[in-house]
């Protein structure tokens, strides 16, 4: 059953469906992912044959690896979807496939086999930050006169250096480093604080920033640029920045992910086409 509000806070153990023997199992990292994908694909003609099942209540419990194990050990028709950041923690891919800019090349590699779909974006939540979905949320909250997707995309791109910088806390550090103490910093002040926190030299910081900004592919249109760049931005970290930019901290996107997912579900072209086609292929190949 779909939730009526925009929050994921009520999704818990009850959302983890016991494994059955019917249909096709699609294992996901968390109940948040489960909710998003059920929301997106519930009206597609192949949905009745798919069962989206979470392996964990939250990310951070090794969900990506649990997905791989579930698919490998299942005796059923089982597949899995994992976030791109699984590659960042994998020594076999963190210096190669993780940095692949071309989505077609990225998707063709299938590093964990044919049954595992690795999202081209950092995590599933990154898809929720489409400017059109954000514009809809801004309009609903009536806290900001900026309701144009293009204007919101421009604002995000104007602050992309800070988004990239805060992402470096994840790409450079082998363990997750908190960014709350950096919330009020931007520009050079943010870069200096990150240098101190990660104990690295300025040239290392600059080199890593360039690698991430390459994902914008020199696009000039704000919406297109944001869509390309945000593939390799740490979704949870930039969420706080977007909170401040669009809502001055009065609205927390963490509690509005359901609303964003719902808006995207109403506008099917916003749903990732590669993921949709992969699910269609599974449905057709196992019919």
Give, for all 287 residues of the chain, the pLDDT tens digit.
333 344 454 444 334 444 444 679 999 999 999 999 999 999 999 999 999 999 987 666 579 999 999 999 998 899 999 999 999 999 999 999 999 999 999 999 999 999 999 999 999 999 999 999 999 999 998 876 767 999 999 999 999 999 999 999 999 986 666 666 688 899 999 999 999 888 999 999 999 999 999 999 999 999 999 999 999 999 999 999 999 999 988 899 999 999 999 999 999 999 999 999 999 999 998 76
Domain boundaries, the chain: 13-120+272-286, 129-254
**Would you give the DSSP letter of residue 3?**
-
Which CATH number does the domain 13-120+272-286 belong to among 3.40.50, 2.60.120, 1.10.286, 1.10.760?
Answer: 3.40.50
Rounded-to-integer distance, Cα 168 and Cα 191, Å:
10
Contact 154, 222 (CB under 8 A): yes
Rounded-to-integer distance, Cα 53 and Cα 105, Å:
28
Chain center to CA of 64: 13
User: Which pairs from 224-230 meet CB under 8 Å and 24+ separation?
Assistant: 225/153, 225/157, 225/160, 226/129, 226/131, 226/153, 226/156, 226/157, 226/160, 227/130, 229/157, 229/160, 229/163, 229/164, 230/121, 230/126, 230/129, 230/163
Rounded-to-integer distance, Cα 185 and Cα 171, Å:
19
- The closest alpha carbon to 81, from 284, 286, 274, 235, belongs to 274
The CA–CA distances, whole Å, from 143 to 105, 135, 149, 251 equal 41, 11, 15, 9
The predicted model scores a pTM of 0.90
């Amino acid at each position: 059953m779909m939730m009526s509000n925009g929050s994921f806070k009520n999704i818990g153990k009850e959302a983890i469906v016991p494994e059955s023997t019917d249909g096709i199992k699609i294992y996901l990292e968390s109940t948040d992912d489960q909710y998003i994908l059920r929301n997106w694909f519930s009206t597609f003609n192949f949905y009745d044959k798919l069962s989206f099942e979470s392996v964990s209540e939250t990310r951070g419990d090794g969900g990506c690896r649990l997905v791989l194990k579930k698919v490998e050990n299942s005796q059923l028709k089982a597949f899995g979807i994992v976030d791109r950041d699984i590659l960042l923690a994998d020594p076999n891919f963190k210096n190669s496939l993780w940095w692949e800019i071309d989505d077609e090349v990225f998707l063709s590699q299938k590093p964990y086999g044919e049954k595992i779909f690795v999202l081209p974006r950092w995590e599933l939540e990154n898809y929720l930050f489409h400017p059109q979905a954000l514009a809809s949320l801004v309009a609903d909250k009536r806290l900001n006169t900026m309701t144009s997707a293009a204007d919101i995309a421009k604002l995000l791109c104007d602050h992309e250096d800070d988004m990239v910088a805060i992402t470096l806390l994840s790409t450079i550090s082998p363990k997750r480093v908190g960014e709350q103490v950096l919330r009020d910093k931007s520009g050079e002040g943010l870069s200096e604080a990150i240098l101190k926190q990660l104990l690295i030299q300025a040239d290392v910081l600059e080199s890593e920033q360039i690698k991430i900004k390459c994902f914008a592919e020199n696009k000039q249109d704000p919406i297109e640029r944001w869509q390309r760049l945000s593939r390799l931005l740490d979704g949870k970290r930039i969420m706080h920045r977007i909170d401040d930019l669009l809502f001055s901290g009065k609205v927390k996107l963490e509690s509005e992910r359901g609303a964003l997912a719902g808006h995207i579900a109403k506008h099917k072209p916003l749903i990732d086409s590669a993921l949709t086609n992969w699910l269609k292929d599974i449905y057709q190949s196992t019919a």
